[in-house]
Chains A and B, each alone.
Chain A
């Protein structure tokens, strides 16, 4: 999209089109001749995989919407009807429900890839911010979707999440009431969530277009973090990246198919197979796995407003990463200290996810003597991990750039590729 176009219309007809609506040129420049760094590894195939996931969710979703009924008395039954009576309904629903999880697996890989190789740094700040925006919209879409089958976890998850807004001083309660269209979650809520669940994926499509546009302006980052210095460092998108992406997608689809066909309920919560009961909270409320780390941060704080603020900050901090990181070197390959902390941070995020899935007062171990010691609970662990999560971004990111001595950077991508081949 940026730079010189290499497209040459080959006959009269394509020339006629090109001077009126250069759409073939657009596709050619973005998807065929677009130069990609020649050292991209498989972590770079997740962008394509994410696009595939979005397509799968939209197609299966639109079909499910032909059978689903957004009404509290009928929603649960209509999903059962999809599972039992609609031709291939079970397949469509399992693909859609597991597709949401697969989508998040892919987005987490994609984001940690960005953190490892420093893809958020100049000149890719806007590209990164658009990515975080997509992630936020994905969480909102998945949240709305999870309410639709109207199971126990749908109802109580929605109750807890919408009540987060009631923590806002003064206007909070009115905001919750406004979101519900009543005094509790009910028919108006389910209806509007369905409407928004239909809308949001198309907002995501819009932001994805901007995301790819920004990508094609700055070009892709690569495992060395050194910008390509010319044609020697790049290969055309087609066939090289297309073929590599296709293999990545195929492997990803194998994992996807495993869940859909062999373990379709493995990633979900059994409580959601029970119809919503507004008078009975299930004994243990948990969100879907992909939201667990944030849930752990929410519960780690013993104050309502404080917990809500900290949880939203955990996402908000991602938007400003490009300005928190002071290191000029992008790739963790050449940042010996950052590399260690990267892995520690990944473990902390997984640890937070684990904490989010446990009951908060679960005792992990007992510290001190049997009578006078204290119980070290999940809440304590979640506090330590939450602390590290913020420490990592807010303290370490600016600090490491100042104290760390990076390894020498390769002269160019070509030099690095040839260098590794030698050693």
Chain B
């Protein structure tokens, strides 16, 4: 008769471990719905894109609209603001990006340099920056003092990234669609 060594795994041990592992996977599967229910639901995801008439915004002014529950800045930049944004040496930036890379083309096929569209949420901890404030006259976040320039790029303070550019396009010369 073959001798059974206690320190060698037996078939029975294998069955125990396999059953235990199966139960653990089953329990984990049952937990997932409990976790996933907290993610954005279908009604939140379904929020449509918005269309916006920007023709009435004068040069040097900005409006804020709400998209997906977030504020979006629509800024009609002056020539001075555009030049200031373009003059920056991007190798000095924390989140290097050219001004052009943050703009989109209009119906004419040219970059719409005077229109800066941003998600108005500080990339630090989510406050809404104040426009035309701070050293670069772009944005200043009141919460912990992050400073953004006239392209919405991070220049000073604790925020790690540039203000995000939402997905948008020009549907006509004076109309944009966000989302």
Contact = CB atoms under 8 A, between A and B. Distances in A.
Interface of A: 156, 159-160, 162-164, 166, 177-184, 186, 188, 192, 278-285, 299, 301-305, 307, 360-361
Contacts of B141: 281
Q: Do most interface residues of chain B lie in helix, strand or loop, or is the interface mixed?
A: loop
B25 to A, nearest CB: 22
Contacts of A164: 125
Contacts of A180: 40
Contacts of B70: 183-184
Contacts of A163: 124-126
A283 B66 contact: no
B158 A159 contact: no
A255 B149 CA distance: 50
A304 B145 CA distance: 12
A305 B126 CA distance: 14
Nearest to B156: A302
A239 B143 CA distance: 52
Nearest to B119: A183
Contacts of A182: 40, 44, 68-69
B31 interface: no
A184 B144 contact: no
B142 A279 contact: no
B2 interface: no
Interface of B: 35, 38-41, 44, 64, 66, 68-71, 121, 123-128, 141-145, 157-160
Contacts of B127: 156, 159-160, 281, 285
Find the residue from A159, A177, A282, A305 having the highest chain B CB count within 10 A: A159
Contacts, number: 84
A307 to B, nearest CB: 6
Find the residue from B123, B126, B128 having the highest chain A CB count within 10 A: B126
Given A182-B44, A279-B64, A279-B128, A304 B142 contact: no
A278 B69 contact: yes
A221 to B, nearest CB: 40
A311 to B, nearest CB: 11
A212 B143 CA distance: 41
Contact of B38 (A179, A284, A304): A179
18 contacts: A156-B143, A159-B127, A160-B143, A162-B126, A163-B124, A182-B40, A182-B44, A183-B69, A278-B66, A279-B66, A282-B142, A285-B127, A285-B142, A303-B158, A304-B123, A304-B125, A360-B144, A361-B145
A181 B44 contact: yes
A302 B38 contact: no
B128 A280 contact: yes
A279 B38 contact: no
A178 B157 contact: no
